[in-house]
Amino acid sequence: MQKKLANGVIVIFGASGDLTARKLMPAIFSLYQQKDLSKSNIVLGVSRSEFDDESFRQKMQEALLEEHPKEKKAIDKFLSQVFYQQIDVYKDEGYVCLQKRLKALCKTHKLEHNFLFYLSTPPSLYYEIPQHIAKLGLNDEHDGYKRIIIEKPFGTDEQSAQALNAHLLQHYQESQLFRIDHYLGKETVQNLLVFRFANAIFEPLWNASHIENVQIYANEAIGLGSRAGYYDQNGAIRDMIQNHLLQLLGIVAMEPPAKMDAYSIRNETLKVFQSIRRFKSAEDIKENVVTGQYQEGCVQGVCKGGYRDEEGVAANSTTETYAAIRFFIDNWRWHDVPFYVRTGKRLNQRVSEVVINFKATPHPFFSQVQKITKFKNQLVIRIQPDEGIKLSFAAKEPGSGFKTHEVDMGFYYSDFAQKSMPTAYERLILDALQGDNTLFARNDAVEACWNIIDPIIQYVQKHGKSLLSFYPSGSFGPIEADKMLAELGHTWRNPSSVFKQKK
């Protein structure tokens, strides 16, 4: 049962930025529309840009009308509860003004002093802002909750992540910190927990005795957009694998938690990260890591240039736009089962999936009749788009003999036409307001993920030129990634754009 929300203020730092207009304000508006938020919760945008309440509302109205062109009346009603405060985030006096504004808003609207601070800012301000608001006592929960949502990246390596966590924990309890990973807010990711632990038919098979390999990937058809400055300094491994895909791996591979609460679930995902086999030598990395960079090609019929042709990218850049890594988890459940994790830009389509490939039957009794001797059961959890879960199995055709075909049994979110799916930001903002940090990264898990990835990044940066493979835009990635799977007799699932087949 959903908790009744206490009233309070959602404070968005960096409110004049793109994330607020594109993701945060639409998510909060949707929560108001669905009555998940109390009408006495208000929003205060904060940044250095020169807005007042009305001009900021106008900017947000334009963004919301793009998505909801027929809901102007509802949008205007929602925006009457949105306010703005201009401050210089580097100066103490700015935070004094912010504190006064918060007190005035709480008094005028008869609100409790419950504050959710959302840092939609550059990572450099993750030190500045929490420290300044703590100086004024806005971290003290004696008169209401005080929580902070922090966007990734959480550091650039293990050392910087440890330093950031240590800094934040000087002023806040871990329960007040919500490190957001929007991938974990996706409905299908959450359904993994229900799928595994609420169904007696799957959990007994969820181990090395029955599963041959697991594939987790997030393919993108787009290039860099406006992110060249950030991306060329970081690459695919830092941008996607260290956070989104490792967190997915943790949920797929975790043991059943003692309780279905945040503490127990996050304990189990941490154990997975601690059990992932570390790469101890250059040879280990060369055998289990493939990096690539996109070149000129056609994506869905549109010709695109190469990565080095992008504005803001160096002509000799060795930054990887594609990465595939083979991980092993050294525990009883997953002994010697490879987990293949991959991500890439300018691939043939946008698709994210978790794929469970089961082992073949011990005796292929029907193989000669089927003429599909390589058939194995496969479970696909589609995260985006066309969200759903599909299981493939062999079935006999009607008639004499044993002519069989591979068929699918599926569950698709599009079948629930009467109910729209909440966006990841809707779910995660609502969870933070409720104080539920199940789907947020804990400090020790963040550091453990960096501990896994750091040696790989260091090797890639040192040997990037010789390690890098190239692939044409619009393909599935470099052929070297296919060869890595072929070493163990495996192949990638390269999905079509349509997940749910029409009857």
48 is in an annotated binding site: yes
Cα 245 from Cα 250, distance rounded (Å): 9
Task: Write the secondary structure of 171-231 as one string of H (helix), E (strand) and C (coil).
Answer: CCCHHHEEEECHHHHCHHHHHHHHHHHCCCCCHHHCCCCCEEEEEEEEECCCCCCCCHHHH
147 is in an annotated binding site: no
DSSP letter assigned to residue 4: P
Give how far Cα 7 sits from Cα of 25, 92, 109, Å. Answer: 18, 27, 10
Please check whether residue 443 is in contact with residue 154, taking contact to mean a CB–CB distance below 8 angstroms: no
Contacts 24+ apart (CB under 8 A), 106-109: 106/9, 109/7, 109/40, 109/42
Dihedrals φ, ψ of 304, to 5°? -130, 150
Q: Would residue 292 be called left, alpha or beta, if left means φ above 0 and alpha means ψ between -120 and 50 degrees? A: beta
CA 145 to chain CA mean position, Å: 26
Catalytic residue among 142, 167, 210, 244: 244
4 is in an annotated binding site: no
Alpha helical stretches, state H, 358-442: 367-370, 424-434
Strand 468-472, strand 289-295: pairing: parallel
Task: State yes or no: is 244 an active-site residue.
Answer: yes
Closest CA to 338 of 289, 393, 282: 289
CA 501 to chain CA mean position, Å: 26
DSSP run (H or E) holding 451 = helix 443-467
CA 363 to chain CA mean position, Å: 40
Beta bridge partners of residue 385, listed in sequence order? none
Provide Rg for the chain, Cα atoms.
Answer: 24
427 is in an annotated binding site: no
Q: What's the token pair of residue 79?
A: 């925006």
Please check whether residue 262 is in contact with residue 269, taking contact to mean a CB–CB distance below 8 angstroms: no
Alpha helical stretches, state H, 314-366: none
- Which residue is listed with tokens 């909440």? 422
Give how far Cα 179 sits from Cα of 64, 182, 428, Å. Answer: 26, 10, 10
Tally of CB atoms within 10 A around 306 = 18
Closest CA to 328 of 337, 341, 319: 337
Q: What's the token pair of residue 344?
A: 């890439």
335 is in an annotated binding site: no
Q: Where are the beta strands (DSSP E) in 220-367?
A: 289-295, 297-299, 302-304, 322-327, 339-344, 351-358
152 is in an annotated binding site: yes
DSSP letter assigned to residue 121: S
**Catalytic amino acids?**
244
Annotated binding site for NADP(+): 48, 88-89, 152
Binding residues are: 48, 88-89, 152, 182, 186, 220, 239, 345
Residues annotated within the binding site for substrate are: 182, 186, 220, 239, 345
